[in-house]
Structure 1
Amino acid sequence: MTGSNNGGVCSNKGVYLKLTVLFLLSTTIYVYLYSSITIQTFAIGEVMKGTISDIQRWRDKMEGWVQMIGGNGYKYDAKSVKNTSFPDTRHNVRKPEAEVRITGQNNDSALGVTNKSRLIFLPQKNIRNSISDKPEVLLTLFTSWPTKAEKYMCHNNTIRNWQQLKPLIQPILFTNEALLTEEANEKGWTVLPVRKAGRGVPILKYMYKDAMERYNSTFYAFSNGDILYSHSLIDTLKALLNSSQIPRDKPIMVVGRRTNVQDVTSAEAVSGKSVYKTANKRGKVFTVWAEDYFITSANYPWKDIPEVVIGRRAYDNWLVSNARKQKHVTVDATNTLVALHQTTKAGNQEGFKADNPEYNHNLLRRMYHQLHYGAGLTSCADYYTKYHSNGRIQIVKRTVPKSCFPV
């Protein structure tokens, strides 16, 4: 009996041992197979992600080639196309059916039409030789900026502020950054690629040429991306069009001093009226040396301008001095045009702190050897704007200071 019982116990232990070994072996095989399948699935997933990414890149390239072949007038490389997309707004380009002529004496209305100021649609001329041709867009206003976290609120204020000036003013952002393109498009801006740059910074003359190719307007202007405007911008340009002091057959450049305001809030930038109020309440008018916007007529010869870049010193004063030298009409709009500069931690001399701050100066010195930047101050402009006692804006001929010579 005893031996028989011990044999049964041993037999049972043998069975348990075999089952345990079989279980461990099965578990090992399962883990191996599961790991192998998981690794392969992950690898396949990564391959698929790469394939999808390649397809998206080729799609973007094809869209860019189609747009280029379709006649939008731009020549740019695949690198620019890959990171850039912009909406088809060609329905806004150079409409030949009509133009807008602003008549009457009332220049107080920025966007509306009053009894004393009305819009008359007339057949538009095919060739624009002077500012007497008035398309339906008064000003094409463009800028460019890189993505910077510390500038997000500032640039968001600008996008909202400029958008409110439509339809008389058409805003454009030049960028090759996909996220900026998407954000600006969503908020109603036109986005164009930066097709020519110097040391990674947009070249000014090509921005003007591309904006002119895209839109037909009376004026075109580059402005720094941290500048906010009130309706005084529109009022000043309308006064300029109605002025008998300005020659109609000469190219025009309008500049002016900006008003610095520290840490502008979203509430202060919510409307043109609040911008105007904030500038008067907290702002300080900056030096005559600084020029942050350049409003030029459609016949301004940008093709003859050197390839200076934005955001670096020297080009602003040179542009004004060159306009004076070429006998173009120069206007200082400081007294009537509020240009609020959103001052951040970067301060009011960002151009001196940027990479390659002497880029423009070195370029101009190689071309012209002798430079007199003092001839290109806002105070050197041949004309200036002011408010008449009746509240209307006047264009007045200036006695230019001796310090503004020679040009």
Structure 2
Amino acid sequence: MKLKKMTTVRSCKRTNMRYTDFRNIKRGIFLLVLTGVSLAYIQLVALEQWGKFVHLNVQISRTIHYNSGKGKNLLRNEKSSDVLYFEYNETDLMKKQVDYSNPIADTNNSADNDVVDFRESTDFNEKAGNRNQSKIKSSKKHARRNLYATINLEKIISDETNFTKKPLMVLFSSWVSSPEKAKVQGVVKRLWNSWSSIKPAVVTTDTQVQNECTLAGWGSQTVTSVDPGCHGPPVLAKMFTDVSKAHDAYFYGFSNADIIFGDGLEKTMKFLYYHYSPWKTKPVLVVGRRHNVDFIEHANFTLDTPTDVGKMAEKGTLVVRSTDYFFSNELFPWARAPKVSIGRPYVVRAIIGWALQRRFDVIDATKTIESVHLTTQDGVFASWHKKGTMCNERVMAKLRWNIPLSFGHCECARLETFKGVNKTIEMRHRPMSRRFCGR
């Protein structure tokens, strides 16, 4: 009897354990299924929202059109840096700014018109007052949604940025007091201060020049790096790094102290700012050639505005294999650039050749930026008759690079700006000049 009772108890315990295990298994399966369903739902919602975001982002980046002077629509992909063609029409841009000067008011007016039209169409059924009121409320909600739906993306892109707080470019130079160059420096100080979006600055050790430029509305800084072998002039790369630390701008540019620019300077830099998006993500260098004009012969020529510079450029000679200005974005690595000094030979070949070797975007802006070299008694080859003439060549020799000297010309740039129909500024790729680049 005892054996039977023990057997019965054991069998009951065994049955209860099996029942408990089965119940735990069912509970575990239920929890797994519930967790899986919850995760699937969360993932589905997340993917749906992400898909909407990606679709909107792609739509915005791929469907923005710009009207050219001929009335054609040019598809512009903001995400691609391999751009083959650009077009910028300043007249159309100004018209768009006037047309879209108050988008909120325009959309409010359109929304009110929608509500008024709906009310006029529902006045015939006065008995259904409650229904009309609900429809009117829904139309108001729809109008509020249209307030955002009817904003033109083209207006947002083409709006003029306010460059008063952050300049489009800080344009700087360096010189010391010289009776021979006094009149030229006076013209430079006046004309470089003509643009509202470009801030001029001087980097020099001459306190008199610093004070004169400060009174003229320029910024002023002291030279911090000089190559002793060059006997005086500052190092170009160090000037860029110093100016970028002292000023917050979208672009930074250096030019020789006897160069004046036409109104194409501001237009070209604005074209790059608005329509050449690679400057936001990769190093960009803008260079160009100058027109040599005998300033002594044309001393009485009127030079009050940048427009006068364009007229004066027609009287000069466009030089080859020479560049007197370098404009770059903040991403250009001047800290690693060759430490060549201004006012001495081989500056152009060192900087342009170094940038091309690293496949940076080098843009030749000769055809859209009118630059004039005001030549005085020292002539156009003054840098070859000063102390330390070959100091930059020694700097390049220490680098031990295999770049031919002929490779460092603005003619070797693979991109160039030019004036298209109706004097619009455009950009295009071009093959490398074998004549000037040695390849």
TM over 0.5: yes
| Alignment CA distance shift 1:110-1:180 (3 Å) | farther
| 2: CA distance, partners of 1:235 / 1:114 | 16
Which residue pairs with 1:182 in the alignment? 211
**Partner of residue 239 from structure 1, selected from 253, 263, 271:** 271
| 2: CA distance, partners of 1:369 / 1:398 | 25
| 2: CA distance, partners of 1:350 / 1:396 | 34
Amino acid at match of 2:319: F
Answer yes or no: is the 8 Å Cα contact 1:173–1:191 preserved in 2: yes
Which residue pairs with 2:336 in the alignment? 304
Answer yes or no: is the 8 Å Cα contact 1:254–1:330 preserved in 2: yes
Which residue pairs with 2:317 in the alignment? 284
| Alignment CA distance shift 1:306-1:188 (3 Å) | same
| Alignment CA distance shift 1:244-1:275 (3 Å) | closer
Which residue pairs with 1:154 in the alignment? 184
How far 1:401 sits from its partner (Å)? 2.5
What is the aligned-residue RMSD (CA, Å)? 2.8
| Alignment CA distance shift 1:110-1:368 (3 Å) | farther
| 2: CA distance, partners of 1:121 / 1:179 | 33
1:265-344 pair list within 5 angstroms: 265=299, 267-280=301-314, 282-287=315-320, 289-344=321-376
Which residue pairs with 2:420 in the alignment? 388
**Partner of residue 209 from structure 1, selected from 220, 241, 248:** 241
Answer yes or no: is the 8 Å Cα contact 1:159–1:184 preserved in 2: yes
Give 3-state SS (helix, strand or coil) of 2:210's partner: helix
| Alignment CA distance shift 1:269-1:110 (3 Å) | farther
How far 1:354 sits from its partner (Å)? 1.8
Q: Over residues 273-319 of structure 1, what are the superposed CA-to-partner deviations in whole Å (9 max), with x where a residue is unaligned?
A: 11111112x111111x1110000111100010122110000021121
1:399 aligns with 2:431: yes
Which deviates more, 263-272 or 328-337? 263-272
How far 1:384 sits from its partner (Å)? 0.6
| 1: CA distance, partners of 2:424 / 2:268 | 9
How far 1:268 sits from its partner (Å)? 2.8
Aligned length: 291
Amino acid at match of 1:155: Q
| Alignment CA distance shift 1:206-1:390 (3 Å) | same
Amino acid at match of 1:210: D
| 1: CA distance, partners of 2:399 / 2:407 | 17
| 2: CA distance, partners of 1:110 / 1:265 | 37
Amino acid at match of 2:318: V
| 2: CA distance, partners of 1:291 / 1:110 | 31
1:19-38 pair list within 5 angstroms: none
Give 3-state SS (helix, strand or coil) of 1:348's partner: coil
Amino acid at match of 1:241: Y
Answer yes or no: is the 8 Å Cα contact 1:365–1:371 preserved in 2: no
| 1: CA distance, partners of 2:237 / 2:420 | 35
1:8-407 pair list within 5 angstroms: 106-107=89-90, 115=98, 118-120=159-161, 136-165=166-195, 167-198=196-227, 199-243=231-275, 246=278, 248-263=280-295, 264-265=298-299, 267-280=301-314, 282-287=315-320, 289-368=321-400, 370-403=402-435
How far 1:200 sits from its partner (Å)? 2.0
Answer yes or no: is the 8 Å Cα contact 1:240–1:246 preserved in 2: no
| 1: CA distance, partners of 2:300 / 2:342 | 26
Which deviates more, 113-122 or 344-353? 113-122
Which deviates more, 106-115 or 144-153? 106-115
Runs of at least 4 residues off by over 6 Å: 109-113
Amino acid at match of 2:171: L
| Alignment CA distance shift 1:354-1:113 (3 Å) | farther
| Alignment CA distance shift 1:222-1:172 (3 Å) | same
| 1: CA distance, partners of 2:219 / 2:424 | 32
| Alignment CA distance shift 1:189-1:245 (3 Å) | closer
The structure with the greater share of residues assigned to helix is: 2
| Alignment CA distance shift 1:272-1:357 (3 Å) | same
How far 1:241 sits from its partner (Å)? 2.5
Give 3-state SS (helix, strand or coil) of 1:261's partner: strand
Q: Over residues 29-86 of structure 1, what are the superposed CA-to-partner deviations in whole Å (9 max), with x where a residue is unaligned?
A: xxxxxxxxxxxxxxxxxxxxxxxxxxxxxxxxxxxxxxxxxxxxxxxxxxxxxxxxxx
Amino acid at match of 2:307: K
| 1: CA distance, partners of 2:322 / 2:353 | 13
| 2: CA distance, partners of 1:245 / 1:372 | 31
| Alignment CA distance shift 1:301-1:273 (3 Å) | same
Q: Over residues 214-233 of structure 1, what are the superposed CA-to-partner deviations in whole Å (9 max), with x where a residue is unaligned?
A: 11111111100000011100
How far 1:108 sits from its partner (Å)? 5.5
Which residue pairs with 2:33 in the alignment? none
| 1: CA distance, partners of 2:200 / 2:94 | 15
| Alignment CA distance shift 1:232-1:181 (3 Å) | same
How far 1:353 sits from its partner (Å)? 1.4
TM-score if structure 1 supplies the norm length? 0.66
Answer yes or no: is the 8 Å Cα contact 1:110–1:231 preserved in 2: no
| 1: CA distance, partners of 2:95 / 2:389 | 43
Q: Over residues 71-124 of structure 1, what are the superposed CA-to-partner deviations in whole Å (9 max), with x where a residue is unaligned?
A: xxxxxxxxxxxxxxxxxxxxxxxxxxxxxxxx99543599999537642569xx
TM-score if structure 2 supplies the norm length? 0.61
Amino acid at match of 1:354: K
Identity %: 25
Answer with 1 or 2: which has the greater Rg. 2
Q: Over residues 332-384 of structure 1, what are the superposed CA-to-partner deviations in whole Å (9 max), with x where a residue is unaligned?
A: 00111101110111111111112111110111112226441211111100101
